[in-house]
Amino acid sequence: MMDRRGVSPVVGVMLMLVATVVLAAVVSSFSGGLATDEQKAPQASIAAKFVIDAVNDTDTTNYEPDYATGFSAANGILFEHVGGDAFSLDDIEIQLQSGTTKYTISNADQINTTVRSETDGPNATTCLPSGINKYLVEIGSNDGYIQPGDKFMLYADNCYDSSTAAWEPRGVFFTWKPVGATDGFGAQKYTTIEYKIIHKPSSKAIATGTIEVV
């Protein structure tokens, strides 16, 4: 008669092996699912240029905007979606870089909306045109959804002319400084700055490039 005392341990080992294989398959499937669920950035071709609408500074010896009463200007970077995927302005942020200085701006940043005057001095707010209450604004539409053919603007909230200041840097500057920020970003006229459009949900770049500030 066959001795069956060794059967149970063998069956137990085989069941453990099967369980291990099944568990490995489940883990692999789950990991693959996570990988496919990873956020992907929209891919788009973007054209960009710096727009200088106007500069007004009644005192060119300092580094503060001193505007004539009622002055406003739509200065900043104009982007055009040339082709590719659509995206929402609320889903992006713009990283600006000049040399080693980097600054990132999005519509999550609060923009000042009060037009400056020459009596405001260093406590003034902005030179933006009336109705501009966000840094990123679609041109010709207010849905904020950018598709091929659409244009949008990254508005600079101030500008100043320090061309006769006692020390460097001298020149015309266009600046961004959100409410509550301890610092900001300045783009000097006749220089080159770099930009990167970042898709916030994925933290990946949609487009990058350089712009001449002219």
Work out the mean pLDDT of the chain and round it to a whole number: 85
134 vs 2, 176, 190, CA distance in Å?
Answer: 86, 12, 26
3-state class (DSSP) for residue 154: strand
**67 band by pLDDT with thresholds 50, 70 and 90:** confident
Which pLDDT belongs to residue 117?
A: 52
The C-alpha atoms of residue 141 and residue 144 are separated, in whole angstroms, by 7
Find the mean pLDDT for residues 79-99: 97
122-163 pLDDT, tens digit per residue, is: 445 788 988 899 999 999 998 999 999 999 999 999 999 999
CA atoms within 13 A on the CB side of 170: 9
pLDDT of residue 177: 93
- Report the C-alpha gap between 81 and 146 in whole angstroms: 7
- Is the predicted pLDDT of residue 2 greater than 80, yes or no? no
Helix (H, G, I), strand (E, B) or coil at 159: strand
Of 85, 73, 82, 6, the C-alpha closest to 41 is: 85
The confidence score (pLDDT) of residue 69 equals 82
DSSP 109-142: SPPP-SBP-TTSGGG--B-PPTT--SSEEESS-S
The answer to whether 42 and 88 are in contact (CB under 8 A) is no
Q: Which two tokens stand for residue 64?
A: 């503060």
pLDDT at 27: 42
pLDDT at 126: 86
**Quick one: pLDDT at residue 114?**
65
Averaged pLDDT, 78-96 = 98
Residue 123, judged by CB atoms within 10 A of its CB (0-12, 13-18, 19+), counts as exposed
User: What pLDDT, on the 0 to 100 scale, is given for residue 26?
Assistant: 41
Q: Spell out the domain ranges in the chain.
A: 1-38, 44-212
Weakest mean pLDDT among 101-115, 144-158, 169-183: 101-115
Query: Which H or E run includes 156?
Result: none
Sign of the C-alpha dihedral computed for residues 51, 155, 188 and 209 taken in this order: negative
Choose the most confident range, by mean pLDDT, from 12-16, 118-122, 128-132.
128-132
Instruction: Determine the pLDDT at residue 115.
Output: 56
